[in-house]
Amino acid sequence: METVHFCTLKNLATGQAARSRRTIVIAGVPAGLLQDDVMADILTIHFQMSRNNGGDVEEVTYPTPSQGVAYVTFEDQGVVERVLKKDQHLLQDKRLSRGYPLTVTRYCHKAFLCVTSTLSVAVFRDHLVLEDLVEEMKKQSPGLDFGPLQPDGRIAVQGSFPALRKLREFLLLKAKSLSEEDKREGKSHQRLRRKVQEHRGATEMRNSIGDTHRETQVVVLDTDIYHYMKSFHPKILQAADVVISGVTDGDITTVCIDSAGSTGAAQGLRAKRTIEVFSVELQRILRKERICFKEPSRAEKQKYKQLCGRLKPRHPGVLLLPYDTHIDVVGTSACVFGFTEDLKRLSG
């Protein structure tokens, strides 16, 4: 999730809100291959083409603070709806060596654009050369920034939430494929299952290696959206005949929906769809404000804790997430704006 500070609150003007409705977020833009203005030109051409459901482009913002992410603003809001309906966007141009799949999402003002997560690929060690797998991951998700592969099989990944979610789905499919190979060869799954459980960052892969009587559905969420859903809409994370649990790893939370039997399996799939639909709506309407402490002292931390405690009853629609160096405020634009303005006034 991208964070913003007090100075950006004035951007809530009506004109900017109207502009944001004509803007989309593009993840997966291949960074570093061409000059920035050339890449912006390629993006403009792509989203003007009728075969891509495009239309007249007012502006392309590239590069942005998030690597591999661009913003495209159209002259007509109706073009946004058409572009979002297209199943797949493949960026192709004679100046590019190959096509690059793009992830296209609706623009939400200053919200959930950049996340960081640590993935564990150690579960693949017995099947693949991990360095080769990482190279495949980089080709699959050119818009993400990958850290060095650690000896324990962990790797830090940063970028847009939609792109990171697609990478996790890619790893899920690969885990499922390897599991099916083991079944065909008559091998036991126990070693792979133990490793999946040992490496929390890959917990979501349990759905591909469980037994035939138990099914696990998986939803990957932004951690702040998960906390907001859990706090304000807990019934979304509850369903009959299923067990729903969340495993948080940095900015990403993996929600596992375990079910047993045919009835439970249907309920699990229904619960997954409900969570997915609701999380998309929350991603559209929520924003986050980060309030950094002026100094890393216990007194400063206590001061903000008391101020937030005084203001929370007047702003019940915000979620407060305290950390050692800052407090994150999550809610709708109006709720966050009201809370932070009051906090700014009280803190001087």
Whether pLDDT at 68 is above 60: yes
pLDDT tens for 9-30 read 333 334 555 677 788 888 888 8
Q: What's the rounded mean pLDDT across residues 106-126?
A: 69
- Cα–Cα dist 321/132, whole Å: 38
Q: What's the rounded mean pLDDT across residues 296-324?
A: 89
Q: What is the mean pLDDT of the chain?
A: 78
CATH architecture of the region 288-347: 2-Layer Sandwich (3.30)
CATH superfamily of the 22-106 domain: RRM (RNA recognition motif) domain (3.30.70.330)
What pTM did the predictor assign? 0.52
- Cα–Cα dist 119/202, whole Å: 7
* Start-to-end CA span in the chain (Å): 27
Name the maximum alpha-carbon separation found in the chain.
68
pLDDT tens for 173-211 read 887 777 666 655 554 445 544 544 544 444 444 344 344
Higher per-residue pLDDT: 108 or 284? 284
User: What are the residue ranges of CATH 3.30.70.330 in the chain?
Assistant: 22-106
pLDDT for the residue 72: 93
CA-based R_g, the chain, Å: 22
pLDDT for the residue 324: 81
